[in-house]
Amino acid sequence: MGKLDNKVAIVTGASSGMGAAITRLFTQEGATVIAIARRREKLLSFIDEVAREGGKVLALSGDVAKEEDVRNAVNTAIEKYGRLDIVVNNAGLMDRMAPVGDVDDQLWNSILDVNLTGPMRMMRAAIPHFLEQGRGVFVTVASIGGLHGCRAGAAYTASKHGVIGLAKNVGHMYARKGIRSNIIAPGGVNTEITQGLQFDPEGGALCGAGMATNPRMGEADEIARVALFLASDDSSFVNGATLVADSGWTAY
């Protein structure tokens, strides 16, 4: 038996990196996963792989920055499978390491729309169904950038501090309704999040100054195993918690 047998989960940002690893592991543990991502072709290619492996997965092209796409994901879970048990807020954008004096409104809004407002929309859409079922689980992928001041630029740092506060608030507000909400704060993980970005020279140098204290980079499947713990009944007494997964980087 799998840890997530007969569960229905939504995973955002599922076409690559941590989202893909979480999707694959959840299906291996018995869940049916609705996988959401903006890059449709990449998502479909990945989902085909998971399906060939025997995973129960449905691909939805969507953007958590769009209310209609969020609602469509939740409604699809209810209409197609009759329930929704787990939401993994994984979709995220990295900024250009820019200090606040160099942040324009377009950069600020694009980062916060995905990293903070997107999870809020997903939680808001899922809560009524969780309440009706009497249980539900949120797992939000944040960052150690939400615990410290200079792991990235001003926009990303603000968004990750904000989403940790949001997820903690949800955990306490709905604890007596059978709903749990926990956070993963990864350290450096080998994903595509910085691919194609041109970092601000000064900001990049300042943010990168602490890399020498990082014991090692992590892999996406290591974060997926943390997500499985928080999504499953193994963590039934864990709520409103931030689980740091960084190989001890922040212990320095």
Q: Is 156 marked active-site?
A: yes
- Give the integer Cα–Cα distance in Å for 40 and 63: 11
What dihedral angle (degrees, nearest 10) is formed by the CA atoms of 59, 77, 2, 45?
A: 0
Catalytic residue among 81, 156, 174, 252: 156
| Nearest residue to 191 (alpha-carbon basis) of 141, 249, 242, 117 | 141
Q: Please report the DSSP string for the chain in residue order.
A: --TTTT-EEEEESTTSHHHHHHHHHHHHTT-EEEEEES-HHHHHHHHHHHHHTT-EEEEEE--TTSHHHHHHHHHHHHHHHS---EEEE----------GGG--HHHHHHHHIIIIIHHHHHHHHHHHHHHHHT-EEEEEE--GGGTSS-SS-HHHHHHHHHHHHHHHHHHHHTGGGTEEEEEEEE-SB-SSTTTT----HHHHHHHHGGGGG----B-HHHHHHHHHHHHSGGGTT--S-EEEESTTGGG-
Residue type, 36: I
Structure tokens at 167: 């997820």
Catalytic residues: 156
